Amino acid sequence: MEIIYGFVEKIDGAEVADVFRRSGIKRPVDDVERIQRMVDNADIIVTAKSNGQLVGVARAITDYSYCCYLSDLAVDTEYQRSGIGKELVRLIQEKLGDEVTLLLIAAPTAVEYYPRIGFEKLDKAFSIRRKR
């Protein structure tokens, strides 16, 4: 299985919604217009493709100087546990360099995953939840 990775400027929201759906990540996958806005306003998008099909995506918001929020990391369940998520994160870190902290909010089902790929668990985060 050959996986091709790449940074993209533009990506189709329906394609991203489909990989979100196949990954199990909780996102508004039935609202493709909203998914399109999510990807259109991202600073970094890196994809993983197998035979031309999107099988993984990472989306991030950053100032490229101090911090970066990894807002999505999704890999099709058929391709999970093959290092794709780890490579997507590595590529983002490489692009950001050594001055930028990479932050994320883990889904309850992924809390054990992130320390395995180099993230440190923090206990001082806060949020104001979205209403929808």
The CATH number given to whatever domain includes residue 56 is 3.40.630.30
Indicate if the pLDDT at residue 126 is higher than 90. no
Beta strands (DSSP E) in the chain are 4-7, 44-50, 53-62, 67-75, 101-103
When pLDDT is averaged across residues 83-93 and rounded to a whole number, the result is 97
Confidence class for position 110, pLDDT limits 50, 70, 90:
confident
pLDDT of residue 11: 97
- pLDDT tens per residue across span 2-31: 999 999 999 999 999 999 999 989 999 999
Provide the edge-to-edge strand list for the sheet that holds 44-50.
Answer: 4-7, 44-50, 53-62, 67-75, 101-103
CA dihedral 108, 127, 76, 119 (to 10 degrees): -70
Paired residues of 67 in beta bridges: 101
Biggest CA–CA distance in the chain, Å, is 42
| Domain that includes residue 16, residue range | 4-116
CA–CA gap between residue 23 and residue 57 (Å, rounded)? 10
pLDDT of residue 99: 97
**121: in domain:** no
Name 111's Cβ contacts closer than 8 Å, sequence gap at least 6: 121
How far from chain centre, in Å, is Cα 96? 15
Confidence class for position 97, pLDDT limits 50, 70, 90:
very high
Confidence class for position 130, pLDDT limits 50, 70, 90:
confident
Percent of the chain with pLDDT over 90: 83
- pLDDT tens per residue across span 26-79: 999 999 999 999 999 999 999 999 999 999 999 999 999 999 999 999 999 999
How many domains is the chain partitioned into structurally? 1
**129: in domain:** no
**130: in domain:** no
**40: in domain:** yes
Backbone angles phi, psi at 95, to 5 degrees: -65, -35
What does the mean pLDDT of the chain come to? 94
